[in-house]
Structure 1
Amino acid sequence: MFSSQKTKDSLILSLYKAKETVFRLRDVALITGDSDVLSLSKKLNYQVKNGKLLNIRKGIYAKPNYSKEELICILYSPSYISLDYVLQKAGVVFQYDSQLTAVSYLSREIEIENQSYRYRKIKGRILANPAGVIRQQNISMASPERAFLDMLYLEKNYHFDNIASLSQDMVLALLPIYETKTLTKHVTHLFEQHGHQ
């Protein structure tokens, strides 16, 4: 019994020491070095029952103070945070929305613990291109310029409040990812309209 308790405690200590706050079962296996999935699952469920971990969804566990940005990147993978969420943080759009938005291989909207997460489907070749996507820990987030292009690619008539904060050079460097002349013309028009050269 004592040995079993010690194992469960070492599991939670390993997870609490980790920089990540959200874990898939395979992540926990890598962190702990325990490849026995059934045993690991039982240990994790024990920690959930004791309130030391949250079971967010089947096979996804989190520390009580988990990062919502990290969660959106793990729920559906591959994906990266983009669109409204990034544009709002960068001051490109002013209207506040608490929803976290990402692009992925599917479109889906879910709510977890009163937080809304929205995924928009984008072509695989665009999703797989890492240019303009910053990865830190378990979080992949588009630069404001990449989020701007993602949004225009998905919604041609989207209204931007302040594109002056975007680097025109960076936007133009990222444009080839999308392989569409229509988007290139639209971006050029928007920059001309807002006084960019």
Structure 2
Amino acid sequence: MIKADILNILRSKSTVLTFKEILIASGEKRPDLLRRRLNYYVQQGELYSIRRGLYAKNKNYDRLELATKILIPAYVSFETVLAEAGVIFQYYKTIFVATYKTREIECDGQPYSFRQIKDDILMNPAGVENKGNYLAATKERAFLDVLYLNKGYYCDNLSALDFEKVNKLLPIYNNKRMVQKVKQYFEKFQEEL
């Protein structure tokens, strides 16, 4: 990998790059040599090493993009999406991510909470949007993800949800308890109108 290769990689739209992405983009055949070169670019200040195997162009990388590259496959969901959509009013510094295993990680002072969801739910693209450099659940999908993992959950603003979309996404989870819970939330929403 020569200097021009790293500059081409840095021109990509991604703010966070995995070692594997750089390996493929560079065409380098020897991973050990690429690691040494990446370490050199980190020392020269041309790359920023976030954690092992994850690099950024600089310290101003997209934290949500990083969240979906620490564990793959993954998408931003749960309280992160619900708070942004105004469904809950509680502020969380933590970024919540749906993935294949549960783990808590702090990276560059930013806490990340990875929550395990069954593979058939995780891999279903319904209600998951491409935000450019990362995937994120719609507010309806995030609502259902939260209900899937929590038996009792309080939502501050149910009017922010489209219950028609919620009901369309509900079969993904194949869960009778969730059907009852969504029905209760919908009844509560109707009472508030």
Give the TM-score of the pair, scaled to structure 2.
0.93
Distance 2:145 2:190 in 1: 22
Q: State the superposition RMSD in angstroms.
A: 1.6
**Aligned twin of 2:28:** 34
**% same residue:** 40
Q: 8 Å contact 2:13–2:133 — kept in the other structure?
A: no
Partners of 1:97 and 1:119 lie apart in 2 by: 14
Distance in 1, matches of 2:159 and 2:86, equals 10
Count of residues paired in the alignment: 191
Using the TM superposition, give the Cα deviation of residue 56 of structure 1 relative to its aligned residue in structure 2, in angstroms. 1.8
Kept in 2, the 8 Å contact 1:73–1:138? The answer is no
3-state secondary structure, aligned to 2:136: strand
Distance 1:138 1:48 in 2: 22
Q: Superposition pairs for residues 131-142 of structure 1, below 5 Å?
A: 131-142=126-137
Is 1:61 matched with 2:44? no
Structure 2 stretches lacking a partner, 5+ long: none
Tell me which amino acid in the other structure corresponds to 2:117.
Answer: I
SS of the equivalent of 1:117 reads strand
State how far apart, in whole Å, the 2-side matches of 1:165 and 1:46 are: 49
Cross-structure match for 2:70: 75
SS at match of 2:10: helix
Displacement of 1:124 in angstroms is 1.3
Distance 2:76 2:156 in 1: 20
- Aligned-pair CA distance for 1:38: 1.9
Q: 2:13, 2:110 → 1: CA distance?
A: 22
Does the CA contact (< 8 Å) of 1:104 and 1:120 recur in 2?
A: yes
- SS at structure 2 position matched to 1:179: coil
Code of the residue aligned with 2:50 in structure 1: it is: I
Check conservation: 1:47, 1:53, Cα contact below 8 A.
Answer: yes
The answer as to 2:101 corresponding to 1:96 is no
Distance, in Å, in 2 between the alignment partners of 1:69 and 1:11 is 26
Amino acid paired to 1:137: G
Query: How far apart are the structure 1 equivalents of 2:175 and 2:137?
Result: 19
